[in-house]
Chain A
Amino acid sequence: MSELLVVEDLTVTFPTTRGPVDVVKDVSFTVGRDETVGIVGESGSGKSMTSLAIMGLLPRGATTRGSIRLDGTEVLGASARELRRLRGDRMSMIFQDPLSSLNPYYTVGLQIEELYRAHRGGSRAAAREVVTGALRQVGLPDPERRARHYPHQFSGGQRQRIMIAMALVCSPSLLIADEPTTALDVTVQAQILRLLADLRGQSGMGMVFITHDLAVISSIATRVLVMRRGEQVEYGTAEQVFAEPRHDYTRMLLDSIPRIDDPLDEVSA
């Protein structure tokens, strides 16, 4: 399996009033084509910063060391122009909260269309055809009419479907999904997960799936990276990490998954 994304010794540093702080420290992992890699960790573990670094979307002031290569192209240190060409076209990202991630002032159709036209050009009419197709692909009923609606007119699950349609409209080779199901109802979560897995399978793209939920990771990822306080504490195949975790932290995370066959414990703390 040839590697699509290679992250080597990635360090992200933020300046603070008390000196620079490394929010991501020496993280290395790879994502193959046609593969899903899960990044797991609690809030503040640096998983989102890792994904923003890949997209070149780190907040102002952040500095990076190491290397991130997408299909052999170095992302760190790429010019703003090169990054713009990659973003949305070769790599895309979907976020935790689809409502706030869509601009409330514009129809969802326009928001997908502008991405497509930024990379592929062409007429609005042609782009609209593509948008309809993309919305149909993610299972949105009546896509032609719905493209003319605004984000607030959709349910949470539909909005995430729209975000997915947008992310995939240029058929990128890498999709980064940052907690895409966290803000959704449990039943909708399952639908979105299945949709992501299906679409990834059909297109053969690589996916980085970020979550704090190990149960979700086990169902979707082939490789898992566990992060804590900016550091990589465990990295291996999903079977490896789940069957024989090498690190105490991973074991703790695994133990924290509630099971239906768990003996009832007194609630502590």
Chain B
Amino acid sequence: MARYLAGRAAGVVLILFLVCLFTFVIFFTLSPDPAVMICGKTCTPERIDQIRDVLGLDEPFLAQFFGFLAGIFAGRDYGAGANLVHCAAPCLGYSFQTNQSVWDMVVERLPVSATVAVGAAVLWLFLGIVAGLLSAVKEGTWWDRAAMGLALGGSSVPNYVLALALQYVLVVQLQVLPFPQAVAFSDGPALWFQSYLMPWLVLATGYACLYARLTRANVIDTLAENFMRTARSKGLSPALTMRRHALRPALTPIATIFGMDFAALLGGALITETVFGLNGVGKMAADSIAKNDQPVIMAVTLLAAFFVVIGNVVVDLVYTRLDPRVRITAR
């Protein structure tokens, strides 16, 4: 087990390193000169040279890359003498746009993304699994057909369309919700809940539809298994047969997919956050891409990769608890 974990940890580090490297290569070769961008409209050649010098943009590629990596673990200094700026570890640099520390931006915005992700996940897990279960048990009935038709439709509607439609109906027409804005929990739970309700609904819809279809398919497959016939032949109650023998095999694969989906969402729900103006990691990603804010793009890319890779490891570890046939053996 310890060997397995060590191996996985090494894999995580390697993947994150490669993500870093590739992102860095892309910006180094493709992006316009950051110094010109930072300098802005009133710019002089001297000023551009100064910026280049402070950010180390004149240095060779590898030196810049390892400077970035070193910053994450040990912090780094920009400039020299009177202009010296120390960026404490974990240092992800400063935004070209706002000069804010990128790490501080991440720390500030991550809770918003996490709130969006957790709330949506609760909603879609509940709705998706309940609807899928009912459909499977009532396979072929009008309920099944209606629910699955709705699920197919719901997973085909783009997030931004749904978001705008929902805002129009709930905020403009019915006026049951305030216009969405980022509200902290400390500002009042009711207000907080209201402000996040629409993002949760929008984000959860697509996933709920997908999970309903997955749950239905898995439960129907499981109900046809030979061990279900055995369970019935034993004279167990229908409730026990369903709860113990059908649900666990049917829902275990869903746990895997959920882990991956949830991890990816922690890296930011780009469209939903942007449409609702929530200052999460997703909106930060969208803004930084629009403005070619390289340090911020690096940070959101790394962050997303980090969550996906860690999510993968967690899912694998959890799976060994869920399915007794899967056991960890060191390779």
> Which A residues lie at the B interface, using CB under 8 A?
55, 57, 80, 83-89, 92-93, 95, 97, 100-106, 114-115, 118-119, 150, 152, 163, 166
B217-253 toward A: CB 8 Å interface, digit per residue (1/0)? 0000000011101111111111010001100110010
Cβ-closest chain B residue relative to A100: B226
Q: Which residues of chain A have C-beta atoms less than 8 A from B231's C-beta?
A: 103
Q: Which residues of chain A have C-beta atoms less than 8 A from B325's C-beta?
A: 104, 150, 152
A117 CB to nearest chain B CB (Å): 10
| Extra 6 A-B pairs, beta carbons < 8 Å, given A57-B229, A80-B238, A163-B230 | A86-B235, A93-B233, A101-B226, A103-B230, A104-B325, A114-B234
Contact B227 A101 (CB under 8 A): yes
Q: Which residues of chain A have C-beta atoms less than 8 A from B234's C-beta?
A: 87-88, 92, 114-115, 118, 166
Interface residue from B225, B233, B237 paired with A57 (Cβ < 8 Å): B233
A-B contact pairs, 29 of them (CB 8 A): A57-B232, A80-B238, A84-B236, A86-B235, A87-B233, A87-B235, A88-B235, A88-B236, A92-B233, A95-B226, A95-B229, A95-B230, A100-B226, A100-B227, A101-B227, A101-B229, A102-B227, A102-B230, A103-B227, A103-B249, A104-B323, A104-B325, A114-B236, A115-B236, A118-B234, A118-B237, A118-B240, A150-B325, A163-B230
| Residue from B225, B226, B237, B244 whose CB has the most chain A CB atoms within 10 Å | B226
Contact A84 B226 (CB under 8 A): no
B54 CB to nearest chain A CB (Å): 60
Q: Which residues of chain A have C-beta atoms less than 8 A from B188's C-beta?
A: none
Contact B237 A114 (CB under 8 A): no
* Contact A118/B227 with A103-B249, A104-B325 known, Cβ cut-off 8 Å: no
How distant is the Cα of A57 from the Cα of B232 in the complex, in angstroms? Answer: 8
Interface residue from A85, A87, A97, A105 paired with B232 (Cβ < 8 Å): A87
Contact B235 A118 (CB under 8 A): yes
Count of chain B residues with a beta carbon within 8 Å of a chain A beta carbon: 22
* Contact A105/B226 with A84-B235, A86-B235, A114-B240 known, Cβ cut-off 8 Å: no
In chain B between 246 and 263, which residues have their CB closer than 8 angstroms to a CB of chain A? 248-249, 252
B324 contacts the other chain (CB 8 A) = yes
Cβ-closest chain A residue relative to B252: A105
Q: Which residues of chain B have C-beta atoms less than 8 A from A87's C-beta?
A: 232-235
A173 CB to nearest chain B CB (Å): 14
How distant is the Cα of A183 from the Cα of B324 in the complex, in angstroms? Answer: 24
Contact A150 B229 (CB under 8 A): no
Q: Which residues of chain A have C-beta atoms less than 8 A from B244's C-beta?
A: 106, 114
How distant is the Cα of A120 from the Cα of B252 in the complex, in angstroms? Answer: 31
Q: Which residues of chain A have C-beta atoms less than 8 A from B252's C-beta?
A: 105
What secondary structure prevails in chain B residues at the interface with A? helix
A148 CB to nearest chain B CB (Å): 11
* Contact A118/B236 with A105-B248, A105-B323 known, Cβ cut-off 8 Å: yes
Contact B235 A119 (CB under 8 A): yes
* Contact A104/B324 with A97-B226, A114-B240, A118-B240 known, Cβ cut-off 8 Å: yes
How distant is the Cα of A103 from the Cα of B229 in the complex, in angstroms? Answer: 10
Q: Which residues of chain B have C-beta atoms less than 8 A from A103's C-beta?
A: 227, 230-231, 245, 249
A153 CB to nearest chain B CB (Å): 9
| 4 A-B pairs closest in CB distance | A88-B235, A87-B235, A100-B226, A88-B234
Contact B227 A85 (CB under 8 A): no
Q: Which residues of chain B have C-beta atoms less than 8 A from A166's C-beta?
A: 234
B14-52 toward A: CB 8 Å interface, digit per residue (1/0)? 000000000000000000000000000000000000000
Cβ-closest chain A residue relative to B233: A93
Contact A105 B230 (CB under 8 A): no
| Residue from A89, A95, A103 whose CB has the most chain B CB atoms within 10 Å | A103
| Residue from B248, B252, B324 whose CB has the most chain A CB atoms within 10 Å | B324
How distant is the Cα of A163 from the Cα of B235 in the complex, in angstroms? Answer: 15
How distant is the Cα of A100 from the Cα of B252 in the complex, in angstroms? Answer: 17
| Residue from B235, B236, B240, B244 whose CB has the most chain A CB atoms within 10 Å | B235
| Residue from A105, A106, A163 whose CB has the most chain B CB atoms within 10 Å | A105
How distant is the Cα of A159 from the Cα of B279 in the complex, in angstroms? Answer: 57
How distant is the Cα of A62 from the Cα of B244 in the complex, in angstroms? Answer: 26
How distant is the Cα of A166 from the Cα of B230 in the complex, in angstroms? Answer: 10
Contact B235 A89 (CB under 8 A): yes
How distant is the Cα of A115 from the Cα of B232 in the complex, in angstroms? Answer: 10
Q: Which residues of chain B have C-beta atoms less than 8 A from A114's C-beta?
A: 234, 236, 240, 244
* Contact A105/B324 with A95-B226, A114-B244 known, Cβ cut-off 8 Å: yes
How distant is the Cα of A166 from the Cα of B236 in the complex, in angstroms? Answer: 13
Interface residue from B233, B238, B249 paired with A105 (Cβ < 8 Å): B249
B248 CB to nearest chain A CB (Å): 5
Q: Which residues of chain A have C-beta atoms less than 8 A from B249's C-beta?
A: 103-105
